[in-house]
Structures are given as C-alpha cells and as structure tokens.
Amino acid sequence: MKVAVLGCGLIGVSWTALFLVHGHDVAVWDPSPTARDGVADRIALPMAQLVELGLGKGRSRGRLISCAEPEEAAQGVDLVQENAPENVPLKRALYTRVDAAAPVDAIIASSTSSLVWSDLAVGMTHPQRFVTAHPFNPPHLMPLVEIFGRDPATVSRAEAFYQDLGRRTVRLRRDAVGHIANRLSSALWREAVNIVADGIADVAEVDAALVHGPGLRWSVVGAHMAYHLGGGPGGMAHYLSHLGPSQERRWSTLGKPVLTPEVCDLLIAGVEAEAAGRSVAELEAERDAGLIATIKARDIS
C-alpha cells in the first residue's frame, strides 16, 4: 500500500514509522522543507521501538518518499493521514488540494484531537471518504485510534487499515470535541488540578496515586467494567441501585478549579519536584520504556 503523511511534526513522524514498519510506502509532505527532509532521521527511534515491540514482523520495510507538494504526496495513495496544525481553514484548504489529487477511493483521515468531522468535512467534494482517526500520544506506541466518519463502509475500511497496524480502533457514534480519550483525560485532570489547588495532596502524590491505583487498573479494566465488578455478582445493576446515589453526591462535590497564576505556579513547581532534575527527554524515554514493557507483557499491540 501507499500512504501520504501530511504534516511532519511529532504525530506525522510517529505515523510514518508505524506505516513503514508494516511495509507501506510513505509519501511525506510538510510546508517546511527542513521538517520533511528531517523525517528520515527522526523515524529512527520510533522504528526501533516498534521493532522491539515485534510489530511488522516478517514484512519488508516500506519506502520513504519526500514530496514538495501535498498533491504529489497524494498520487496513487490508499490513505492520506493529515497531521496539520489544529486550524479549520488550514485543514480544509489542504483537503481541497488532496481531494482532487488522490484516487477517488482513497481514504482521507485526520489525526485531529480537538476538531470535529462536521466542521472539517465542509467543502469536500467526496466527504464520504473522510474520517477523523485520532491517535493517542505517543502515537506509534499507544494502541488506540478513535475513528468517526459518516459513511459506514469507509469507517470499516479505515478500521481494517489501522487494525492491520496492530492498532485498537474505537468507533464513535457521533463526532464530539475531544472524542472519547481526551474528554476522559480532561475530566480526570480537572479533579487532579483541584486536589492540588485545594491542598489535599501535592502534584507528585496525585500522580503516584494515579499510576499505582486507578491508572494501573484502567490499563486492564475500563471504568464502566470496574463498577460492574464493584457490584459483585449483581454487577452494574446492583452497583447503580446501591451506590448510584452516592456517586451522584460525590460528583456534586468534585472541584471546579481555575488556572489562576497561583494554581499554575503550584502545578509547575509540583511537576518540577516530581521530575527531580530529569529533563523532558529523559522523562519521555522512561515513559516509552514503561509503555513498551507493559505492551509486551500484555500483548495488547
């Protein structure tokens, strides 16, 4: 297969490594020649990590092709993965260009995290072939891809494409800002900020509680299923009838923090204490090692 990657930032590079390891030829484009010419070097680490995970085993690597224009990248592709900045007019203009250049049955997929299908598809000649396909950072390691589109056949084809890359696809019934994962992340972080702002615990303690408690459990069992198990043999029905009212009371007491300068200072000082001198690059390397160990152990990718 041939895939076009439009936008060669962190997410575009991550997708490129994943596609190449699975044997797809990848035509990359970015308005910055430096960015697109740097892809060859920047894919080295993610490709090595993917090989460590055993992805693409037995497949020969695809070819990396650098293109000066998006139309050139879209020639003869099966799928376009767009990773441009989160700006509706900019993305729409790009779709107009590739919509005309790509084969009529090619899927056009957006990695957008904060924009929605209905806003992005406006003006497309073939909106039925457009989907949002949102990965979770770091995209080459995280199995999740959240998909929404209006044409069920296109959505099914997109799901099959990403599943072949070892991804776990999730289908939305309707488009929503933040899809599922970022809505859940935002809701949790609001309370995580509140706990710090309200003096209940420090940043590092909140993070440690999450990693060794709910986070660890949510890497195995979803939030709904956890309450089903919490209900004992009667499951979710028993849980809701016995503890539903107390959950609603708990919801009403959750915080509504504001990111005032004081709260921001607490958060910044708190993560600095948690980082304990480790740079962002060192912390990312530790994160990747932890993710790789977990994914290998659980065989979830």
Concatenated DSSP letters for 127-151?
Answer: GGGEEEEEE-SSTTT--EEEEEES-
Candidates 40, 184, 242, 262; binder of its own copies (CB under 8 A) is 184
Q: Check residue 168 for interaction with its own copies (CB under 8 A).
A: yes
Q: Check residue 57 for interaction with its own copies (CB under 8 A).
A: no
Interactions with its own copies, residue window 123-162 (CB under 8 A): 136-137, 142-144, 146
Binding span for its own copies by CB under 8 A among 20-28, 34-42, 95-103, 200-208? 200-208
Q: Is the alpha carbon torsion for 264, 282, 293, 45 positive or negative?
A: positive
Taking the complex as a whole, the smallest distance from the CB of residue 241 to its own copies amounts, in Å, to 8
Give the bridge partners for 108, in sequence order: 80, 130
Nearer to its own copies, 66 or 169 (CB): 169
Tally of residues, the chain: 301
CA pair distance 235, 243, nearest whole angstrom = 12
Q: Check residue 40 for interaction with its own copies (CB under 8 A).
A: no
Binding span for its own copies by CB under 8 A among 14-22, 93-101, 152-160, 263-271? 263-271
Q: Check residue 242 for interaction with its own copies (CB under 8 A).
A: no
Q: Shortest CA distance to 91 belongs to which of 120, 63, 115, 126?
A: 120
Binding span for its own copies by CB under 8 A among 68-76, 103-111, 157-165, 289-297? 289-297
Q: Check residue 85 for interaction with its own copies (CB under 8 A).
A: no
Binding span for its own copies by CB under 8 A among 26-34, 75-83, 94-102, 244-252? 244-252
Q: Which helix (H) or strand (E) holds 261?
A: helix 261-275
Q: Shortest CA distance to 16 belongs to which of 24, 270, 69?
A: 24
Total of chain residues touching its own copies, rule CB under 8 A: 105
Candidates 228, 242, 262, 276; binder of its own copies (CB under 8 A) is 228
Burial class of 222 by CB neighbour count within 10 A (0 to 12, 13 to 18, 19+): exposed
